[in-house]
Amino acid sequence: MSSFLSAVCSIAILFSASTSLDAAVIANCDRIAPDVKRVSLASMNIKTLIYFADADGKLFAGSLTGQSSRRLTDHDFEFDMHMKQSANGRWISYGGRRKGGQSVQYWLFDRQANADRLIYEHPAHGILPSFSPDSNHLVLRGAYAPRWDNDPDAGLFLVDTATLKRTEIKPPATIPAKELMTLPIWSKDGSELLILARSALHNGYEVPFEVYSYRLSSKSFERLIRRDESDGRLHALARDGREIPVSEDQDPRSSRNGPDSESSPDGIWRAFVESKNVKESEYVLKLENRKGRSKLIATMGATTCARQLIAGWLDNDHLLLRHGFLDEFLVYEASSGKMAELPQELKASKMFTW
């Protein structure tokens, strides 16, 4: 996230309780001018439940309107903390290395059952878990290392979120499992895992990645074609000359890359970023209703800030905006134009979702 926020930008936020607009300024993406009208978050009618992890990795649930938070777990994670959420909102994958422990733990929290289960534990670092687009599966990996050479639990695994059954995905014969370095990506339709893999026992970067498709229905591998940008970044994975659409990973709302446009759940409002001046790289963030009437929320002087500004809709009336180099957040009330800060426990968390 922080790599995208390397440029300095100026944001001017305009808001109003009627059709007129009052000016307010956020300077350099991280400082709000003293003339900005602020309200208490408790005065906003927000009922959305927020799930967040504190500095010790304990998972909490709470509202934004001043009610006390409820602790959901007792895990104390010191390093390698992570959080992912499923597309349907039911599951939260989180974990880390516990204080005084030797292993990285991967837990799955069920928001419907209000319970969590330990689904995997391994002493070596692995890839961050990734949910399938239909939320039915979670892929994760524990790396092989010489000190744990006989560890039977290292490898690439597929977890059924409903049954918690864990199935090993065995790599092609060209890459022995104990030499596997891999990055799995879900296809957009969720029918296959697109796996970038190469031997860990290579000489520098002389050995290229091999690209495979793993189909869940047939449990079969297929070699794919990889197209790269001129600077070596991955551009696309292709089959028979056609690009395979991939799914976006479900990062927590506090960490995801902001979209250029997002509508409120009921479709009444649409927040969107558009170019105001291409030559000067100036962008604006607007809010538009169903009648096509729009009002200006912000102007930005850098593309990097524009990419990150929309964090998501908390409900039908409240938009979460991200600003600043430290990923600070503001809540914007669409119907009134009022604005408020998040509570301190979420400011300290930096890892939350809803």
User: Within this chain, do residues 349 and 306 fall inside the same structural domain, yes or no?
Assistant: yes
Tokens describing residue 23: 């000016």
* Residue 335 CA from chain centroid, whole number: 27
The confidence score (pLDDT) of residue 194 equals 86
Tokens describing residue 219: 């449990």
Q: Which amino acid is at 94?
A: Y
- Residue 218 placed within a domain: yes
E strand or H helix at 345? helix 344-349
- Residue 81 placed within a domain: no
Range of the domain at 154: 87-243
The confidence score (pLDDT) of residue 203 equals 57
Q: How many domains does the chain have?
A: 2
Phi-psi region of 337 (alpha: psi -120 to 50; beta: other; left: phi over 0): left
The confidence score (pLDDT) of residue 314 equals 94
Helix (H, G, I), strand (E, B) or coil at 4: helix
Tokens describing residue 346: 């979420």
Asked whether the beta carbons of 305 and 11 are under 8 A apart, the reply is yes
Q: Flag whether pLDDT at 339 surpasses 80.
A: yes
User: Within this chain, do residues 221 and 279 fall inside the same structural domain, yes or no?
Assistant: no
Q: pLDDT (tens digit, 9 = 90+) per residue, 78-117?
A: 777 888 999 998 999 988 887 777 788 899 999 999 899 9
Phi-psi region of 60 (alpha: psi -120 to 50; beta: other; left: phi over 0): beta
- Residue 208 placed within a domain: yes
User: Within this chain, do residues 165 and 267 fall inside the same structural domain, yes or no?
Assistant: no
End of a domain among 243, 269, 303? 243
End of a domain among 243, 273, 293? 243
Q: Which amino acid is at 300?
A: M
Query: Which residue's structure tokens are 């002389």?
Result: 206
Q: Choose between 266 and 278: higher pLDDT.
A: 266
Is 0.85 surpassed by the pTM of this model? no
Helix (H, G, I), strand (E, B) or coil at 167: strand
Q: pLDDT (tens digit, 9 = 90+) per residue, 2-47?
A: 332 232 233 233 333 333 333 333 333 433 434 457 888 888 989 8
Q: Which amino acid is at 165?
A: K
The confidence score (pLDDT) of residue 163 equals 94
The confidence score (pLDDT) of residue 206 equals 59
- Residue 24 placed within a domain: yes
- Residue 154 placed within a domain: yes
Cα–Cα dist 250/222, whole Å: 25
Over residues 348-352, mean pLDDT = 78
Question: Nearest-5° angle of CA 75, CA 311, CA 90?
Answer: 45
Q: Flag whether pLDDT at 278 surpasses 80.
A: no
Asked whether the beta carbons of 336 and 329 are under 8 A apart, the reply is no
Q: Are strands 104-110 and 352-353 parallel, antiparallel or unpaired?
A: unpaired
Over residues 60-71, mean pLDDT = 79
Asked whether the beta carbons of 215 and 191 are under 8 A apart, the reply is yes
Q: pLDDT (tens digit, 9 = 90+) per residue, 177-198?
A: 666 667 788 999 999 998 877 6
- Residue 193 placed within a domain: yes
Written as one string, the DSSP assignment of 267-308 is SSEEEEEEEEETTTTEEEEEEEETTS-EEEEEEESSHHHHHH
The confidence score (pLDDT) of residue 11 equals 28
Q: Choose between 156 and 150: higher pLDDT.
A: 156
Cα–Cα dist 298/300, whole Å: 7
Q: pLDDT (tens digit, 9 = 90+) per residue, 161-180?
A: 999 999 988 877 776 666 66
